Amino acid sequence: MASGFFAILDDIATLMDDVASMTKIATRKTAGILGDDLAVNAEKAAGFTSSREIPVLWAISKGSFVNKLIILPIAFLLSSFLPWAVTVILLIGGIYLAYEGAEKVYHFFVPHHHSKKEAIKETRTKEEILQVEKERIKSAIVTDFILSVEIVIIALGAVTGEPLLNQIIIVTFIAILATVGVYGIVALIVRMDETGYKIMAKSKKKSGLMFNIGKGLVNALPIVIKALGIIGTLALLLVAGGIFTHNIEYLHHIVPAVPSMVKDFVIGLIVGFIALLIFNGVKKLLGK
């Protein structure tokens, strides 16, 4: 009886050890896209009046949890009954990530002009504010859904050979971490300027340590968001390239002397620009 009990404990310990080690691997593989997720959501959550930032971010966070509840069961069913579909979705997602990264690089070197939208803070009625918020929240949740699919599939791809229970525990943990971690950090980022203004207001004079800390936080917000955008773009291309090199045998062995990170970036960039050219070509044809 006692030996059976200890055997169960040993099995549980082994399971948890396997889960912990595979979770580290899956987290590393999804780190790049998590960085892009953070950058995208920080950009979408910024720009609201200070009193609305947290409510809007909370609404997006709830939408993100709903996205995960939809995606996770489908992903586990595919892993159990159509495991090849996980690789197919992973490669399709890799093309999308490469396209998105290449598009950002293209727009960085070839600036384009957007139509100037009315800022939320310039709207005059409560109805207008709520309508703009609703549109921004909906857009953010749709973007989150796409990124969530990629996070779940990449995490699942990292543990494909594991037992189903391990897969469920690991991928679910990654999904929860993605939502809580990303939106928690985004909340801190979008409140940087507000925190800075409060610190400046508490300072008795417009100089000194406290005032400079507050001023630093205010000035740092746009820099942080811009830096996250650059890091997120690099991460997109690295993650996309990594998907191709790990799932396509030819690309995995091509140019073995080149460091894997450089190879992943270059492949991601090449695939991204090919996808960008095809998309723009199709768009022009449809436009005509």
Q: What is the pLDDT of residue 43?
A: 65
| Average pLDDT of the segment spanning 34-55 | 67
DSSP 175: H
Q: Identify the band that residue 183 occupies on the pLDDT scale cut at 50, 70 and 90.
A: confident
Provide DSSP, 93-109. Answer: HHHHHHHHHHHHHHHHH
Residue, of 161 and 187, whose pLDDT is higher: 187
Residue 11 has pLDDT above 60, yes or no: no
Q: Which of 70, 75, 103 is nearest to 88 (CA)?
A: 75
Other Cβ atoms closer than 10 A to 275: 21
**In the prediction, which pLDDT does 258 show?**
85
Say which residue, 171 or 37, is predicted with more confidence: 171
Give the model's pLDDT for residue 50: 66
Q: How many separate domains does the chain show? A: 1
Q: Is the pLDDT of residue 204 over 60?
A: yes
Mean pLDDT on 14-33: 51
* Mean pLDDT score of the chain: 76
| Top-confidence residue, 139 or 45 | 139
- Above 60 in pLDDT, residue 284? yes
Q: 190 near 53, Cβ under 8 Å?
A: yes
Confidence of residue 272 (pLDDT cuts 50, 70, 90): very high
Query: Is the Cα dihedral 253, 237, 74, 161 positive or negative?
Result: positive
* C-alpha atoms less than 13 angstroms from C-alpha of 63 in its C-beta half-sphere: 20
Residue 104 contacts residue 233 (beta carbons within 8 Å): yes
CA distance 238 to 47: 29
Token pair of 3 as six digits: 């030996």
pLDDT digits (tens, 9 = 90+) for 118-145: 444 454 567 777 777 788 788 778 777 8
Contact assessment for residue 171 and residue 80, using Cβ atoms and an 8 Å cutoff? no
What residues contact residue 34 under an 8 Å CB cut-off, 6+ apart? Answer: 151, 178, 181, 182
So what's the pLDDT on residue 32?
A: 57
- Give percent above pLDDT 90 in the chain: 7
Q: What is the DSSP letter of 118?
A: P
Instruction: Give, rounded to a whole angstrom, the gap between the first and last alpha carbons of the chain.
Output: 77
pLDDT at 273 over 90: yes
Residue 23 — very low, low, confident or very high, per pLDDT cuts 50/70/90? low
Neighbour-count burial of 201, counting CB atoms closer than 10 A to its CB (0-12 exposed, 13-18 middle, 19+ buried): exposed
The pLDDT, as a whole number, for residue 85 is 83
Q: How far apart are CA 137 and CA 7, in angstroms?
A: 50
Tokens encoding 66 = 């709903």
Retrieve residue 215's tokens: 């001023």
From the list 176, 165, 172, the residue with the least C-alpha distance to 15 is 165
Contacts of residue 218, Cβ cutoff 8 Å, sequence gap at least 6: 192, 193, 196, 197, 200
Structural contact between residues 53 and 137, judged by C-beta atoms closer than 8 angstroms? no
What average pLDDT does the segment 165-187 reach? 82
Q: CA 152 to CA 159: how far, in whole Å?
A: 11
Distance, in Å, from the CA atom of 117 to the CA atom of 132, rounded to the nearest integer, reads: 10
Which domain does 149 fall in, by range?
Answer: 2-287
**Residues 98, 236 contacting (CB under 8 angstroms):** yes
What confidence score (pLDDT) does residue 3 get? 47
| CA pair distance 167, 39, nearest whole angstrom | 27
Output the six-digit token pair for 81.
Answer: 């009954």
More confident residue, 180 or 31: 180
pLDDT at 270: 94
Q: Where are the alpha helices (DSSP H) in the chain?
A: 2-45, 50-81, 83-109, 126-158, 164-190, 192-202, 209-247, 249-253, 260-287
- Band of residue 17 on the pLDDT scale cut at 50, 70, 90: very low
